[in-house]
Amino acid sequence: MRESSPMRVAYIVEHCHKRGGHERYVAELAQRVALSNNEVHIFSNSFSEVANPKVIWHRVAMFHRPTVVMWLSFIINSTRQILRQKFDIIHSQGPNAILQNVVTNHTTQRARIKKLAGVEDVENRSILRHCHDFLFLKMVCWLEGVIYNPRRKTKIIAVSEGVKRETVKYYGKSPDEIAVIPNGVDLERFHPGNKTLYRRDIRKQWGIGEKEIVLLFVGGDWERKGLECLIRAIPLLKNEPVRLLVVGKWHRQPYYEKIVLGLHLKDKVIFSGASKRVEELYAASDIYILPSLYEACSLSVLEAAATGLPIITTKINGTEEMIVEGKNGYFISRDSEEIAEKVRWLCKSQGLRMQLGEEARHTAEDYSWDKTSQRVLTLYEEIAPKA
């Protein structure tokens, strides 16, 4: 252990802030790792919301489109900058770098592609766009294979047991070389006490009645996350006082708005857009629903649980380890009738919603960013070169 010896740690991520997945992961880790007297550097194109002023930012230039050019330019330019200095730990986020001794596998791309192969593509993409996306995915999977190669000594952090299984299955990495360290959640920002602070005002803002039960959906990539089957569950709940609050942005929103209009749900479904104060929207809600086809370790599920909301979700990476059926939530398939059935149970009993929500909060307390950061720091100390 290197308890008394500070380390020089470099994080590589395209953007660093607290609004995304990889972005928030690095921001939360970096500010905590720096508290342990370590010298922390972040190599990214943009940088904000990192609370520790000791964290050193290096701007990495990159093109912003098309995606494949953005990705390649970031890897090339971040590599050039990393080579100019010496670090004990170089921590990348999946296949976004070629020089690292620690990598967090947030999503196994080969597994994700296979899972999503049957999902209907509602976007009419051009031939050029199809070719671009095909090339990009091929290159990402190739770099995954380089990074996760069994002969390479890179230490892999998987954000869930499911992601660990995928890494072993698709790349042959030894399970002993993969540490499972789940994502964390800010237990102060996402707290049951927020309901007292924000619930009434947020509901008033969106015209939600005091006795209405708000079903919450948070995120982008709405095809993968199953928003359509959730919307189609609403007409099956015609005798329940429910409203669906959709938080996030997605370029196919007009398609979903058309579904809402076709089902005569204009007064039942709210598209709030993205929010920098999403904790207030969790506080205004009653049940969190995520009928996703694939996740690695859902941050939104952790946030909902930390806020004290019962969870209704598919059995996917991360949730299968976190949700206990009937204790802190329920599992569903991507089936509107099944979703409606579970929602109906919870609509009938406020006591049941409160009971499951309290248990969800207790579960989330095991996923604090402080605990996640300490586990990552311990891993750094094990593999960093000894002085």
8 is written with which tokens?
A: 């020089």
Q: Dihedral of CA 143/147/115/261: which sign?
A: negative
Residue 213 and residue 287 in contact, taking contact as beta carbons nearer than 8 Å: yes
Lookup: tokens for 126:
């051009």
- Separation between Cα atoms, residue 75 and residue 294, nearest integer Å: 26
Whether the bond between 53 and the residue before it is cis, its omega within 30 degrees of 0, is no
Read off the amino acid at residue 339. I
Instruction: Label residues 373-385 b or e (16+ Cβ within 10 Å = b).
Output: beebbebbbeebe
Question: What distance in Å separates the CA atoms of residue 356 and residue 322, rounded to the nearest whole number?
Answer: 13
Supply the pTM of this predicted model: 0.93
Q: What radius of gyration, in Å, describes the C-alpha atoms of the chain?
A: 21
pLDDT of residue 119: 75
- Cβ atoms of residues 303 and 282 within 8 Å: yes
Q: Sign of dihedral through CA atoms 261, 265, 267, 271?
A: negative
Q: What does the pLDDT read at residue 387?
A: 60
pLDDT given for residue 1 in this prediction: 36
- Tens of pLDDT along the chain (387 residues)? 345 589 999 999 999 999 888 999 999 999 999 998 999 999 999 999 998 999 999 999 999 999 999 999 999 999 999 999 999 999 999 999 999 999 999 999 999 999 998 775 556 678 898 899 899 999 999 999 999 999 999 999 999 999 999 999 999 999 999 999 999 999 999 999 999 999 999 999 999 999 999 999 999 999 999 999 999 999 999 999 999 999 999 999 999 999 999 999 999 999 999 998 999 999 999 999 999 999 999 999 999 999 999 999 999 999 999 999 999 999 999 999 999 999 999 999 999 999 999 999 999 999 999 999 999 999 999 999 876
The pLDDT of residue 2: 42
pLDDT at 333: 97
- Tokens matching residue 227: 């928003």
Give the C-alpha distances (Å, rounded to integers) separating 4 from 29, 38, 387. 19, 10, 11
Helix (H) or strand (E) holding 92: strand 89-93
pLDDT for res 124: 65
Grouping H, G, I as helix, E, B as strand and the rest as coil, residue 192 is coil
Q: Alpha helix (H) ranges present in the chain?
A: 22-33, 67-83, 109-116, 127-147, 161-171, 194-205, 222-225, 227-231, 253-262, 278-283, 299-307, 319-322, 336-348, 350-364, 369-383
